[in-house]
Amino acid sequence: MDYKSSLIQDGNPMENLEKQLICPICLEMFTKPVVILPCQHNLCRKCASDIFQAANPYWTGRGSSVSMSGGRFRCPTCRHEVIMDRHGVYGLQRNLLVENIIDIYKQECSSRPLQKGSHPMCKEHEDEKINIYCLTCEVPTCSMCKVFGVHKACEVAPLQSVFQGQKTELNNCISMLVAGNDRVQTIITQLEDSCRVTKENSHQVKEELSQKFDTLYAILDEKKSELLQRITQEQEEKLSFIEALIQQYQEQLDKSTKLVETAIQSLDEPGGATFLLISSCLSLCLPHSIVEASKGCQLGKTEQGFENMDFFTLNLEHIADALRAIDFGTDEEEEEFIEEEDQEEEDSTEGKEEGKKFIYLHSFIPSLIPQQPEVPTIYKALC
């Protein structure tokens, strides 16, 4: 009802109806058979076949004995893509309703008399219709212009033949443009897919690279903790050894100090008998104590440079250079680099074993220190 009222409100409903029956490819009224696409737009089957053949040049026709799947067809009106079956455009459904409307419209137009002004008229000869085409000037004109007018010396042709030729040429150009647009759209789709895949691959290699560097960080942290632990262990061993020496010297000093104090107190004894008793005891202890005091300087000592920790110095220049040289390369380059690293690691391991022998040499020092003789019982009594 709305469609009917819209036609009645316009000045010429037949012209509006004719616009609805125009093929978007050939720009003429639909030529039967008319096919309808899944998007509900209509086309002349011949026009649809031309576009389909241009977009799918390798498609085998219906008469071929080779069975192939159909190609792709893009609607020229809405650009909706349709996947054809093996019948191509011949597998599309005919729109019988539109074909019937076209028949009714043509009958209505043929029963009506031609109105003045429905055919273009010549500007020079207002009563003459334009019915020929000047090939020289490439403009439509009338017969009077050819006989008496400006186109008298020009070459002309029937208007209908030129009209059909140019219409066919335009139709071919439209088909080529539509096919070219389809190819461009296919390229755009491929490029978009390539862009998407590139992003996915980039994200994947970034994740792998981050994981590899995280592994390197973990190895460095683990090695750092290990080396710090070794330094701490060495520090504790050295400090324990030095503190043990300090304790031995301190005990020797305390014993010698008490003996000196005892000797000084005996000097203050006024009684001769008492002094001589103490003196006789001291005479037995003093020589031994003096000998022990002289031997006190021969207790365990630290060697020169014992407090040095220089043997824990690391030379990381080659490792730093290797880290700076990290780059994306082939598998062969990575294998060569791994072999070089393994060889360097073996050499460094041998050097560390030799260093360990030197580092822990001091652990045998306490066993080489002579044991102190037992203090006589009389000295203990005097103290």
pLDDT tier for residue 187 given thresholds of 50, 70 and 90: very high
CA angle 294-295-300, nearest 5°?
Answer: 135
Q: What is the mean pLDDT of the segment spanning 180-194?
A: 92
- Check pLDDT > 60 for residue 143: yes
User: For 274, how many CA atoms within 13 A lie in the half-sphere containing its CB?
Assistant: 7
pLDDT of residue 211: 95
pLDDT at 78: 86
Express each pLDDT in 202-214 by its tens digit: 999 999 999 999 9
Instruction: State pLDDT tens for residues 218-267.
Output: 999 999 999 999 999 999 999 999 999 899 889 888 888 887 887 777 77
Coil/strand/helix, residue 59: coil
Rounded CA-CA distance 300/11 in Å is 127
pLDDT band at 152 (very low <50, low <70, confident <90, very high): confident
CA 354, CA 165: separation in Å to the nearest integer? 100
Distance from C-alpha of 81 to C-alpha of 56, rounded to nearest angstrom: 13
Report, as an integer, the average pLDDT of 2-29: 65
pLDDT tens track for 269-305? 777 677 777 666 666 666 666 666 655 556 677 788 8
Question: With 70 as the cut, is the pLDDT of residue 317 above it?
Answer: yes
pLDDT category at 184 given cuts 50, 70, 90 is very high
pLDDT bin (cut points 50, 70, 90) of residue 360 is: very low
Q: How confident is residue 362, by pLDDT bands cut at 50, 70 and 90? A: very low
pLDDT confidence of residue 226:
94
Residue type, 348: S
Burial class (CB in 10 A: 0-12, 13-18, 19+), 241: middle
> What is the pLDDT averaged over residues 89-107?
84
pLDDT at 202: 95
Is the predicted pLDDT of residue 117 greater than 50, yes or no?
no
Burial readout 89-122 (b: 16 or more C-beta within 10 A, e: otherwise): bbebeebeebbebbeebeeeeeeeeeeeeeeeeb
**pLDDT for 359 beyond 70:** no
Q: Is the pLDDT of residue 64 over 60?
A: no
Residue 193 has pLDDT above 90, yes or no: yes
